[in-house]
């Protein structure tokens, strides 16, 4: 994390923690990763040792790690435990199944992986990985692997059919991405799929309304900050985990909520790819 951003978070931490203490009810922190594959690369990759350190930081902070469903239930009823946290993974990289999930299972920690339903064949990779030489770290989970890990307890949510920038699509295309992905995953898993992560965090009020019409109960953004009873369930806030544990502590303390206007600007601008 850049030193200037870290300094800003350090300055904002006392205010954020004070606001948390004064809140009428505990809030919900949602954090995320993409792949856990032993190296660092543009924020997508997390080293295995770094991932373990992240989990150690959560434990030292006193995080109460909940499943997404349990957390949303508690958020709706206003009865979350203090320091409630949900763990998520975007895109459906195979390293989540092969590496991250066994580590989480050892520690008894639930998590949700959001997968792109059109990329479950095992022979596709995302456009942003094309600038690197082909490597197993880019491999995405296959449908058979997804079925097995879901049976083992990993929660599965939708990340659309093809990972598009949803605000750039017309209404019919947005509907197809949301409806078809949910239907494909439900057919594969044999159970309801009610959670969604907006690709690259791209959402607008119209996209959120489409997610509601498509039958999703909850949808995740990349707008940083604490979720409260006033946060719409179809635009829950989330931060991706920085490499250094001290930076994760700033995230958990809510210090980077001050950067939410920057998140909003990025969301309107769209992704570089």
Three-state secondary-structure class, residue 45: strand
User: What span, in angstroms and rounded, lies between the C-alpha atoms of 116 and 222?
Assistant: 17
User: What span, in angstroms and rounded, lies between the C-alpha atoms of 204 and 210?
Assistant: 10
The residue ranges of every structural domain in the chain are 3-265
Report yes or no on whether pTM surpasses 0.75.
Answer: yes
What pLDDT score was predicted for residue 12?
46
User: What span, in angstroms and rounded, lies between the C-alpha atoms of 4 and 120?
Assistant: 39
> What Rg, from alpha-carbon coordinates, does the chain have?
18
Pairing between β-strand 112-115 and β-strand 45-46 as defined by DSSP bridges: unpaired
**Count of beta carbons in the 10 Å neighbourhood of residue 31:** 21
User: What span, in angstroms and rounded, lies between the C-alpha atoms of 202 and 191?
Assistant: 26
Give the residue ranges of DSSP H helices in 23-90: 48-61, 68-77
- Digit-by-digit pLDDT tens for the chain (273 residues) are 555 545 544 544 544 454 454 455 689 999 999 999 976 645 689 999 999 999 999 999 999 999 999 999 999 999 999 999 999 999 999 999 999 999 999 999 999 999 999 999 988 989 988 887 788 889 999 999 999 999 999 999 999 999 999 999 999 999 999 999 999 999 999 999 999 999 999 999 999 999 999 999 999 999 989 999 999 999 999 999 988 888 899 899 987 665 555 555 555 556 654
Structure tokens at 31: 């954090």
How would CATH label the architecture of 3-265? Alpha-Beta Barrel (3.20)
Give the rounded distance of the alpha carbon of 264 from its chain centre.
17
Q: What is the pLDDT of residues 59-92, one digit of tens each?
A: 999 999 999 999 999 999 999 999 999 999 999 9
User: What span, in angstroms and rounded, lies between the C-alpha atoms of 114 and 125?
Assistant: 15
| 82 neighbors 105 (Cβ within 8 angstroms) | no
What pLDDT score was predicted for residue 21?
47
What pLDDT score was predicted for residue 133?
78
| 167 neighbors 204 (Cβ within 8 angstroms) | yes
What pLDDT score was predicted for residue 22?
42
Q: What is the pLDDT of residues 130-148, one digit of tens each?
A: 887 788 889 999 999 999 9
Give the residue ranges of DSSP H helices in 190-259: 205-213, 245-252
What pLDDT score was predicted for residue 68?
98
| 84 neighbors 29 (Cβ within 8 angstroms) | yes
Return the closest-CA partner of residue 1 out of 51, 43, 37, 30. 43
What pLDDT score was predicted for residue 9?
47
What pLDDT score was predicted for residue 40?
61
């Amino acid at each position: 994390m850049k030193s200037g951003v870290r300094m800003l978070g350090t300055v904002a931490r006392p205010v954020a923690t004070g606001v948390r203490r004064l809140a009428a009810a505990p809030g919900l922190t949602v954090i995320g990763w993409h792949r856990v594959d032993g190296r660092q690369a543009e924020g997508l990759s997390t080293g295995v040792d770094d991932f373990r350190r992240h989990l150690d930081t959560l434990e030292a902070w006193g995080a109460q790690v909940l499943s997404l469903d349990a957390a949303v239930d508690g958020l709706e009823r206003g009865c979350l435990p203090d320091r409630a946290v949900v763990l998520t993974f975007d895109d459906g990289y195979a390293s989540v199944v092969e590496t991250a999930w066994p580590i989480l299972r050892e520690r008894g920690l639930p998590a949700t992986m959001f997968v792109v339903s059109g990329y479950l064949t095992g022979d596709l990779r995302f456009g942003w990985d094309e600038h690197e030489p082909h490597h197993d770290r880019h491999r995405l989970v296959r449908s058979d692997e997804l079925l097995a890990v879901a049976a083992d307890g990993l929660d599965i949510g939708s990340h659309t059919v093809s990972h598009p920038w949803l605000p750039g699509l017309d209404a019919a295309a947005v509907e197809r991405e949301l409806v078809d992905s949910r239907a494909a995953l439900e057919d594969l898993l044999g159970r309801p799929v009610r959670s969604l992560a907006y690709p690259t965090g791209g959402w607008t009020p119209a996209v959120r309304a489409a997610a509601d019409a498509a039958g999703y109960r909850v949808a995740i953004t990349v707008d940083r900050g604490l979720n409260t009873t006033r946060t719409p369930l179809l635009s829950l806030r989330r931060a991706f985990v920085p490499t250094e544990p001290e930076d994760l502590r700033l995230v958990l303390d809510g210090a980077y909520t001050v950067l939410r206007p920057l998140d909003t600007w990025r969301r309107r601008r769209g992704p570089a790819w």
